[in-house]
A and B are shown apart, each in its own frame.
Chain A
Amino acid sequence: MKITRMHGAGGKVMQELIKDVILKNLEITSVNGGIGLESLDDSATIPLGDKEIVFTVDGHTVKPIFFPGGDIGRLAVSGTVNDLAVMGAKPLALSLSLIIPEGFKLEDLERIIKSINETSKEAEVAIITGDTKVSDGVDDIIISTSGIGIVDRGKAIRDCNVQEGDAIIVSGNIGEHGLSILLSREGFDFDVNIKSDVAPINKLIEKVLEEGIQINAMKDPTRGGLADALNEMAEKSNIGITIFEDKIPISDEVQSICDILGLDPLTIANEGKVVMAVKKEDAERCLEILREHPLGKNAEIIGYATKEHKGVIMETIVGRRIVDMPIGDPIPRVC
């Protein structure tokens, strides 16, 4: 069997690849009893004294490298910062590894680095080490960033700890990054205002934590979109999640384009959003705090966790729909 595009699309096929090929063949996968590779959480942790070092890595390729709302540089910083932030950690520093194809334009590189700089300032995270390679074996630039952060010992927020009754909150409009990339890649030049939401959200999350909100679980809904993130949280927490279609924040533009293309916005990637499972009593206050921040102004409570069912179920005006773990491209099923 060969690796296909589906293996990289997030969702079920990719999960199987990770479990059956990667995890199965690695033996030492955690340190000092910290969160290790096998939990497939957003980051890993290394307990040290009364703190834990939080550590993650992310490789970025995107077509096109400049897109409405951002570029690969901003994406490379945000992706890694966010993976640290959704662990409840304070991101400290990043590494930066560049693999640049032969013939790549110098001014494009400079533009990307400047964007990396801007984003790192916005997130207040330093770039402290790096590596640069030029290769004739890649089609386009690949940027990998590792990040370290810090969290009080035992205080890391997992994606597997959703509790019964928790409110499920999403920090803003969904589907914008993935749709914007798709449209700009295909040269879509109609009059619609769809921009990637790519942004570092560590400041937003820190604000919520500083106010003492009890977040039981947290995840950034990137590849596979909200559907993937919720399914993973539900499955790992061994609980069900019910969401309400009319509560899911989504812009009219994204909704109307999805309606025409037949795409499900729940399965489209985001790069500047967070999904939280918040203790019921704290939910309203959490929402207020989120909404005060520009990156959280469209935040909504979209549902709750329940033991009445497994998986993710969405209440719609035409009944309850089971929200699948996406598998890459949608496959027709209606007769």
Chain B
Amino acid sequence: MKIKIKVKGIVQGVGFRPFVYRIAKKNNLKGYVKNMGNYVEIYLDGKKEDIDNFIKDLKNKKPPLSRIDSLEIIECNDIINFNDFYIIESENSNFEEEGTIPADVSICEECLKELFDKNDRRYRYPFIACTNCGPRFTIVEKLPYDRENTSMRDFPLCEGCLKEYKNPLDRRFHAQATCCPICGPKVFLSDGKNIIAEKDDAIKEAVKLLEEGNILAIKGIGGTHLCCKVSEDEPVLNLRKRLNRPTQPFAVMSKIEYINLFAEVDETEKEVLLSPSRPIVVLRKNQNYDKYFSEYVSNLDTIGVMLPYSGLHYLLFDKEIAYVMTSANLPGLPMVKDNDEILEKLDGIADYFLLHNRRIVNRCDDSVIKKVANRFVFLRRSRGYAPEPIEVNVNNDKNILCVGPELNSTACIVKRNKFYLTQYIGNTSKYETFCYLKDAIDNILKLTNTKKIDVIVCDLHPQYNSTKLAEELSEKFGVEIFRVQHHFAHAYSLLGDNNYFDDAVILSLDGVGYGLDGNIWGGEILLFKDGKLKRVGHLEEQYQLGGDLATKYPLRMLLSILYKAIGDEAFNFIKRYNFFSEKELNILKFQLEKKINCPLTTSTGRVLDAVSSLLGVCFVKTYDGEPSIRLEPIANKFKGNIEVEPKIKNNILNTTELIYNAYEMFIYGDSLSKIAHYAHIYIADGLFNIVKKIADKYGIETIGITGGVSYNKIITERILNNANKENLNFIYHKRVPNGDGGISFGQGIGYIINEP
């Protein structure tokens, strides 16, 4: 009999066709397998039982990185006869349906073995790759994923590589990124002006320079890192100064056998570290950490660690057990990726440059994952994950383009039930990053073969640049704009992430979002009932003294809230910090009395900021969420129980009371960790009490938490425990970032739920 099979899913660039070839041969079948760009077509000619066995093998033995979403079997009466089984070149048809470009994959075990095998022809070759590993998304220009559509087309295969590439039984059969020292990309080391070493010498020299304490820019697979040793203060401090990043913790790269030396790592964390996506995992430092690390690498009680994910990275390890590996970008701007750009933009930041001659087509920052409430959540979902789609059980027949928020942005294109999130974009208030957002959107449309957009979804904030982009695109495509309120989008994202669309009470907690009432929201209790989302409670409204300035200088929030509690005495009290001059304080008082540029906010972040500054933890925010992020480890130090009686009225949690109590404790001389802990528990218990009341009122059994504040372990785990005690189901993120990286996803869900 003769049949055709249409296989959809992740079936490109993962060794799927050679696998099909092998099982076809094994089952004595004739025919062909063909890459159709967005699916694979298999034509089989043979006995029925052989075909049945083939299909069994197809399902059960598929390559580790592949994923079959659907198998369509069509009986056919073609008269074409084949005398063998063939792999046929890709067909460049006009694909109507979506395709999937796989994410980058870390170096596989077999390649790693070859990398360090003196007798292998790819011994110490940094770009070693096979069908099971190597770059994908970051080198692809367009569909289908074939060598000539990637930046590997600049490197024609040598005879040896071509033989492997053409041999269906070889691990490198049709491995689009395969290459070798003869034909592939080459590394070189530059001092900023001249090339000072090439190929393996460049790597050996780079390792030496790192060990001597230099800062190196290292162009890797999908991006560029700034790298230095972790064991000495000087290089780390130099890097901080040059990058103007005084406190933001640096991520490090280390090998799996070293991690136990400096961090607590459990089996599940190990598994994530070792997964082919190789994300940064935020781990708790252990008691020996200080033996190995300069105190300036991270001032938190955690350290972000990733394992080497390419041959190049493995070759960097000799004497050092870990390196600082931070994305090479100036604050707020996209990571640099082209050689000229690296040399120009990092001039004065890096001492040396370890570069290579393969183009990075799509830059992709490292992903960051953290374990909270016993599950893993994405702080950033990018390399190793993007642009693979997230599937949700929704009915949708529109192509929905969601442009995300403004900070920590991603965009998302929704096609049927698949949500394709872009790689991490960043702070789109910067022009360069805004342009990056536009490019990433163009790219994701191209890589999903999307020619038609039906609707564009954006935030409610009238001044977000993404909102403006949405307006521009809506004109270009001639389609409507749909606006989703920021905290609603967080809540929708939580529902979609969990495939849960029944009634729930959701906490949507973060720093800033434009509210339906024109005020700034960020501590919202939302009721999802009968498919409708509604704000039913929130934190008390506080004045944000000086607007965005109050975010940058958290003492302004403290002043504003304390002024409400104790009046003019607040101004006396604040003098002890020696932060504001007499003149500034006079003007601030005038500003607060007259409410000039004092928008109202219910933000949870701003309240935690106020506590952070009260305790002297942080007076100037230098990265997103810094004051509250640095408050958490202080609160962690407190062991014991605290009596908290949150004040609640009309489902509004009184935060003036919280700040006043914290102030009283501070004056009284309570320990900083006790006060910090108190503040976290006040917020967690206070919000939970309101949630519980609302859940009871409507007979709802499921609650959830989302938004940037839900990365806070103390608050999230306290709410989880409360929920467990009260027998409430608890939903939390797993596939989509809790923070603003998940907003574009939530915008899509929000549109589908509310479709006009």
Do A and B pair up? The answer is yes
Q: Assess whether B583 is interfacial by the CB under 8 Å rule.
A: yes
Interface residues of B in 583-624 (CB under 8 A from A): 583-584, 586-588, 590-591, 594, 596-597, 599, 601, 605, 624
CB distance from B152 to the nearest CB of A (A): 32
CB distance from A184 to the nearest CB of B (A): 12
Interface residues of A in 183-205 (CB under 8 A from B): 186-188, 190
Contact A262 B432 (CB under 8 A): no
The docked-state distance in angstroms from the alpha carbon of A81 to that of B34 is: 75
Q: Assess whether B625 is interfacial by the CB under 8 Å rule.
A: yes
CB distance from A136 to the nearest CB of B (A): 29
Q: Which residue of B lies closest to A257 (CB)?
A: B587
Q: Assess whether A103 is interfacial by the CB under 8 Å rule.
A: no
Given A263-B597, A333-B512, answer yes or no on A319-B546 (Cβ-Cβ < 8 Å): no
Q: Assess whether B502 is interfacial by the CB under 8 Å rule.
A: no
**Lowest 10 A-B CB distances belong to which pairs?**
A262-B546, A320-B431, A262-B549, A335-B511, A186-B594, A334-B548, A262-B547, A334-B551, A335-B407, A332-B547
Contact B431 A330 (CB under 8 A): no
Give chain B's interface secondary structure class.
Answer: mixed
Interface residues of B in 540-565 (CB under 8 A from A): 544-552
- Bin chain A's interface residue count: 20 to 34
CB distance from B7 to the nearest CB of A (A): 43
The docked-state distance in angstroms from the alpha carbon of A301 to that of B551 is: 33
CB distance from A252 to the nearest CB of B (A): 13
Contact B431 A335 (CB under 8 A): no
The docked-state distance in angstroms from the alpha carbon of A145 to that of B548 is: 38
Q: Which of B407, B511, B597 has the most CB of A within 10 A?
A: B597
- Which of B408, B432, B549, B599 meets A329, CB within 8 Å? B599
| New A-B pairs, 17, CB < 8 Å, besides A319-B333, A322-B431 | A12-B462, A190-B587, A261-B591, A262-B550, A262-B597, A313-B431, A319-B431, A319-B432, A320-B431, A327-B463, A329-B599, A331-B462, A331-B514, A331-B547, A332-B520, A332-B547, A335-B740
- Which of B331, B407, B431, B587 meets A321, CB within 8 Å? B431
CB distance from B724 to the nearest CB of A (A): 30
- Which of B434, B512, B708 meets A332, CB within 8 Å? B512
A-B contact pairs, 13 of them (CB 8 A): A260-B584, A262-B546, A262-B549, A313-B431, A320-B432, A327-B462, A329-B599, A332-B512, A332-B544, A333-B464, A334-B548, A335-B510, A335-B551
Q: Assess whether B41 is interfacial by the CB under 8 Å rule.
A: no
Interface residues of A in 270-323 (CB under 8 A from B): 309, 313, 318-322
Q: Assess whether A113 is interfacial by the CB under 8 Å rule.
A: no
Contact A330 B597 (CB under 8 A): yes
- How many chain B residues touch A (CB < 8 A): the figure is 48
Q: Assess whether A182 is interfacial by the CB under 8 Å rule.
A: yes
CB distance from B88 to the nearest CB of A (A): 45
Q: Report chain B residues within 8 Å CB of A140.
A: none
Q: Assess whether A324 is interfacial by the CB under 8 Å rule.
A: yes
The docked-state distance in angstroms from the alpha carbon of A27 to that of B396 is: 44
Interface residues of A in 159-190 (CB under 8 A from B): 182, 186-188, 190
Interface residues of B in 53-70 (CB under 8 A from A): none
Interface residues of B in 333-356 (CB under 8 A from A): 333
Q: B514-529: contact bitstring with A at CB < 8 Å (1 yes, 0 no)?
A: 1000001000000000
The docked-state distance in angstroms from the alpha carbon of A171 to that of B513 is: 38
Contact A262 B431 (CB under 8 A): no
Q: Report chain A residues within 8 Å CB of B549.
A: 262
Binding site for B on A (CB under 8 A): 12, 182, 186-188, 190, 257, 260-263, 309, 313, 318-322, 324, 327, 329-335
Q: Which residue of A lies closest to B591 (CB)?
A: A261
CB distance from B574 to the nearest CB of A (A): 14
Contact A261 B597 (CB under 8 A): yes
Q: Report chain B residues within 8 Å CB of A313.
A: 431
Interface residues of B in 432-477 (CB under 8 A from A): 432, 434, 461-465
CB distance from B575 to the nearest CB of A (A): 16
Q: Report chain A residues within 8 Å CB of B512.
A: 332-335
- Which of B406, B510, B588 meets A333, CB within 8 Å? B406
Q: Report chain B residues within 8 Å CB of A321.
A: 429-431
The docked-state distance in angstroms from the alpha carbon of A182 to that of B594 is: 10
Q: Report chain B residues within 8 Å CB of A335.
A: 407-408, 510-512, 551, 605, 624-625, 708, 740
Q: Assess whether B249 is interfacial by the CB under 8 Å rule.
A: no
Q: Assess whether B209 is interfacial by the CB under 8 Å rule.
A: no
Q: Report chain A residues within 8 Å CB of B514.
A: 331
The docked-state distance in angstroms from the alpha carbon of A12 to that of B583 is: 34
Q: Report chain A residues within 8 Å CB of B46.
A: none
Q: Report chain A residues within 8 Å CB of B333.
A: 319
Given A262-B546, A322-B431, A327-B462, answer yes or no on A182-B551 (Cβ-Cβ < 8 Å): no
The docked-state distance in angstroms from the alpha carbon of A188 to that of B586 is: 10
Q: Which residue of A lies closest to B552 (CB)?
A: A334
The docked-state distance in angstroms from the alpha carbon of A261 to that of B413 is: 40
Contact B332 A330 (CB under 8 A): no
CB distance from B280 to the nearest CB of A (A): 20
CB distance from A228 to the nearest CB of B (A): 13
Contact A322 B434 (CB under 8 A): yes
Contact B591 A331 (CB under 8 A): no
The docked-state distance in angstroms from the alpha carbon of A187 to that of B520 is: 27
Q: Report chain B residues within 8 Å CB of A318.
A: 330-332
Q: Which residue of B lies closest to A263 (CB)?
A: B597
The docked-state distance in angstroms from the alpha carbon of A187 to that of B591 is: 11
Contact B586 A262 (CB under 8 A): no
Contact B551 A261 (CB under 8 A): no
The docked-state distance in angstroms from the alpha carbon of A12 to that of B463 is: 10
The docked-state distance in angstroms from the alpha carbon of A321 to that of B552 is: 17
The docked-state distance in angstroms from the alpha carbon of A212 to that of B343 is: 46
Q: Which of A187, A261, A332 has the most CB of B within 10 A?
A: A332
The docked-state distance in angstroms from the alpha carbon of A112 to that of B476 is: 52
CB distance from B609 to the nearest CB of A (A): 11
Q: Which residue of B lies closest to A330 (CB)?
A: B547
The docked-state distance in angstroms from the alpha carbon of A74 to that of B434 is: 43
Q: Which of B434, B544, B548 has the most CB of A within 10 A?
A: B548
Contact B429 A333 (CB under 8 A): yes
Q: Which of B432, B596, B599 has the most CB of A within 10 A?
A: B596
Q: Report chain A residues within 8 Å CB of B605.
A: 335
The docked-state distance in angstroms from the alpha carbon of A190 to that of B333 is: 40
Given A257-B587, A262-B547, A331-B461, answer yes or no on A320-B599 (Cβ-Cβ < 8 Å): no
Q: Report chain B residues within 8 Å CB of A260.
A: 546, 584, 587-588, 591
The docked-state distance in angstroms from the alpha carbon of A190 to that of B245 is: 36
Q: Report chain A residues within 8 Å CB of B406.
A: 333
The docked-state distance in angstroms from the alpha carbon of A263 to that of B546 is: 8
CB distance from A13 to the nearest CB of B (A): 8
Q: Report chain A residues within 8 Å CB of B461.
A: 331, 333
